Amino acid sequence: MTGATDGHAEDHGRVYQAAGDQHISEHHHYGKDPAAPSGPDSVRRPAVGRPPVVLRDRAEVLERLRAGRGGEVYVLYGMGGCGKTAVAYTFFRLATEEGGRVGLWVNASDRSGLRAGMLAVAADRGAGDGELLAARNGLRPAADLVWQYLDRSARPWLLVLDNADEPEILRDGSWLRSSPRGTVVVTTRRSAARWWPGAELQHIGVLPRADAARVLSDLAPHSGTPEEADQVAEKLGRLPLALTLAGGFLSQQVLDPWTMDTYRRHLEEGGGVELIDRGADALSGEDPRHLVGATWRLTLDAFESRGLPEATALLRLLSRFAPEPLPLVLLNRAEIDGALPRARCETALRALLDQSLTELVDVGARCVRSHGVLLDSVAAATPAEELQALAATAVRLLDAVVPGVPDAGPYDPLHRLLVPHGLALLRRAGDASAAADALAVTIRLCAALHRTGDYLSAGETVRTAADLAERRLGAEHRLVLAARSREGRALFRLGRYAEAETLLSRVRAAQERLFGADDPDTLDSGHGLQLVLGNLGRRDEAVTLLRATAEGRRRTWGPAHPLTLRSRSSLLVLLPVSEVVTEEDGSLLALPSECVRHLGPDHTVTLGARHNHAWVLYGLGRFDEADREIRLVTEAYLRRFGPDYPITLAARQLLSRTRAALGHGDEAVGIMTDVVARRESGLGAEHPFTVAGRTLLEDLASRRRPPAGG
């Protein structure tokens, strides 16, 4: 070897040549900047995108936090965008400015950021460079070093661990501890108590209505009235992040300022998440936590990385439904396999609950509830190729819990809970086929509501469903017409006879023209229409239509079908008593026995036939027989439906007549007094049924009074 360099290197190769003993140290730097230990620029100032102008409705939480004297660990948990960091920021400011504490703020969203931030906390509390270097290089336990200096702090402190959405990071290395010298506040989406042993958990949810409106007014005071702010706040689901973004957007407009009312209209016209996120323009950086449309993407990515794709699938399925309590019974069914394996549904749901993406609520049935802005965000980001399968699965799940053939019965809270979800499926329907499937289930749901006596909900729901579906399917689609027919039946039961007659006549005419006179849908509308005509006093028209309906149902369904027997039973009360006796050679009087033979003694149609038969007996003056019959029917109705059910009240009204006819006037008045009171409560004082009951009561009462001067 000579003194010159004998070798050469190409690309990134290296050549070492030495004469004598040498010690060589290599330093490798990649990128433009020299490598250096990274850490936060400050732990004394909260790293937040936009501090709250005014914190609304969190006084109780702040009071709880301020009551601490040291040694506490508080965990503020809730869904993304609900304002956990804003609460922590406000408490931080109060603790440092008014409480004299040292404030320490660490972003705990990832392992490296947490480690660097906590070591910076140790440095702030007095740790030396050598100790810190040893901890960074793994030569001494880093968490022990940090907490050693926190425990020795001369001044009391507040430590905020923000965005700790992966508590596994805190547990590894035991970063989360308590100390008598200070208070720890953690913000997280993870709600499961197992992650936070010994901590006090505090849920942070959406704002109350009034406070949500005030947030908008705080941020954009000149954009609208308090009432308009209230409407926008409701559209945004009172989610603090969405409110902040909306207020920011409204306050930023210069060339063409929007009012709150304009903003609300754009939301209703489909502006959605994209419009909300336009208010983030003034925020520094591109942290997805500052955007409604992206904040939950962090959690979905975490599901994928932890091998929980079914949690994402379940959330996408939930996004087909409404932001209202969704009964858990829907999710525990084999039909869910169209979106995710049923066996994995429990795991998926627990993951969503743990990440505060949904919550358990009990509203008479165990349910889950997710925020509307979250569901809209997830729906907007769902891959197009998954939408059809998700929509079909959601409809099948709803279909599985709605009665196949809705029957009369007592009020069922499950039906009312399902209403917003049926309408949500219609709103999110991507094509005509999906809309038709969703409408078919919703019509059946409305029939179930109707037959529990909840006529108002049934009518409003089916009208909304028909309006939504008509845009996609057209006004003369079979299912749209069926929905309008169901709406007409509800209008009748609500006492709105003129509206019911107009609607049912129009629908029946269209059905007869399109499908024929003996089509089941045409016959259903005919049966409903004859009820309206009879109560409008147009008995001849009603009888003609009812005869045609009964005969059409006999041809279509056969003589023993429940619908055929129901129409024939209606003839018992619509025909004059003299005609009932001679009708079909007196066979109408034997109809209850025929119903028992074909349907059984407890079938709703059988009970209805016996009820109507008792009316005929009363009309014939056979009061003892009528009284026995209607008493048995009333007892059956009370057992099955309860005292407030409409047909129970109708039966008791007839019972009051038979008791009076048999000389039991006081009993008759007592029965009818109760019937009128219940009708006033359920239907209103001016409903025709209530008015008719009140008239009968006055008549019964007048019969008991002694004659004048007697």
Same domain as 180, residue 147:
yes
Question: Closest Cα partner for 268 from 427, 375, 387, 380?
Answer: 427
125 found inside a domain: yes
Encoded tokens for 398: 């709803």
Cα–Cα separations (whole angstroms), residue 243 to 146, 220, 656:
38, 11, 59
One-letter amino acid for residue 629 of the chain:
E
Q: Where a domain ends, among 446, 471, 494?
A: 494
One-letter amino acid for residue 20 of the chain:
G
Same domain as 359, residue 272:
no
DSSP 195: G
> Mind listing the pLDDT tens digit for each residue in 211-224?
888 888 888 888 88
Q: Where a domain ends, among 360, 382, 401?
A: 401
* Distance (Å, whole) CA 358 – CA 318: 9
24 found inside a domain: no
CATH number for position 355: 1.10.10
Cα–Cα separations (whole angstroms), residue 245 to 269, 307, 456, 644:
18, 33, 38, 49
Cα–Cα separations (whole angstroms), residue 573 to 577, 614, 690:
8, 10, 19
* Distance (Å, whole) CA 591 – CA 582: 13
The H or E element that residue 332 is part of is: none
504 found inside a domain: no
Q: What is the DSSP string of 91-158?
A: HHHHHHHTS-PEEEEEE-SSHHHHHHHHHHHHHHTT--HHHHHHHHTTSS-HHHHHHHHHHT-SS-EE
Q: State the total domains in the chain.
A: 5
Same domain as 199, residue 108:
yes
CATH number for position 82: 3.40.50.300
* Distance (Å, whole) CA 564 – CA 704: 42
546 found inside a domain: no
Same domain as 165, residue 75:
yes
> Mind listing the pLDDT tens digit for each residue in 295-332?
667 777 778 878 889 999 999 999 999 999 999 999 99
Same domain as 698, residue 684:
yes
Same domain as 215, residue 192:
no
Q: Report CA 150 to chain centroid distance, whole Å.
A: 45
Cα–Cα separations (whole angstroms), residue 168 to 40, 165, 272:
21, 9, 34
Cα–Cα separations (whole angstroms), residue 346 to 189, 305, 311, 319, 351:
19, 19, 9, 18, 9
* Distance (Å, whole) CA 163 – CA 705: 78
Helix runs in 330-451, H state only: 345-354, 372-381, 384-401, 413-427, 432-450
- 455's CB contacts (< 8 A; 6+ apart) are 449, 490, 493, 494
- The pLDDT value recorded for residue 586 is 67
Residue range(s) defining the domain that contains residue 488? 402-494
- The pLDDT value recorded for residue 10 is 43
Q: Are 239 and 81 in contact (CB under 8 A)?
A: yes
Residue 203 β-bridge partners:
77
235 found inside a domain: yes
- 401's CB contacts (< 8 A; 6+ apart) are 327, 329, 330, 333, 414, 418
Q: What are phi and psi of 408, to 5 degrees?
A: -60, 145
Handedness of CA 633, 634, 639, 641 (dihedral sign): positive
Encoded tokens for 637: 């109705």
Encoded tokens for 442: 């919703």
- The pLDDT value recorded for residue 607 is 96
Q: What are phi and psi of 84, to 5 degrees?
A: -60, -45
* Distance (Å, whole) CA 627 – CA 671: 14
Helix, strand or coil for residue 621? coil
Encoded tokens for 24: 């060589």
Cα–Cα separations (whole angstroms), residue 548 to 320, 346, 567:
43, 53, 10
The residue written with tokens 């019509």 in the block is 443
* Distance (Å, whole) CA 285 – CA 283: 6
Task: Please indicate, yes or no, whether the overall pTM of this predicted structure exceeds 0.75.
Answer: yes
- Give the strands of the sheet with 102-107, arranged side by side: 102-107, 157-162, 182-188, 73-77, 200-203
* Distance (Å, whole) CA 374 – CA 164: 20
Same domain as 182, residue 86:
yes
Same domain as 288, residue 357:
no
Q: Are 206 and 94 in contact (CB under 8 A)?
A: no
Q: Are 91 and 68 in contact (CB under 8 A)?
A: no
503 found inside a domain: no
The residue written with tokens 């993951």 in the block is 351
Encoded tokens for 701: 């009462």
The H or E element that residue 360 is part of is: strand 359-362
270 found inside a domain: yes
Same domain as 385, residue 411:
no
Same domain as 196, residue 101:
yes
Helix 84-97 vs helix 59-66: angle between axes, to the nearest 10 degrees?
50
Helix runs in 536-590, H state only: 539-557, 562-574, 577-582
* Distance (Å, whole) CA 514 – CA 600: 36
627 found inside a domain: yes
Low-confidence stretches of the chain (pLDDT beneath 50): 1-37, 282-285, 709-710
- 418's CB contacts (< 8 A; 6+ apart) are 327, 398, 401, 402, 445
Same domain as 194, residue 76:
yes
Same domain as 456, residue 469:
yes
Q: Where a domain ends, among 377, 401, 425?
A: 401
* Distance (Å, whole) CA 249 – CA 285: 17
Q: Give the number of C-alpha atoms closer than 13 A to the C-alpha of residue 361, restricted to the C-beta side.
A: 14
Task: Reduce the secondary structure of 8-41 to three states and give it as a string.
Answer: CCCCCCCCCCCCCCCCCCCCCCCCCCCCCCCCCC
Q: Report CA 115 to chain centroid distance, whole Å.
A: 40
* Distance (Å, whole) CA 504 – CA 481: 10
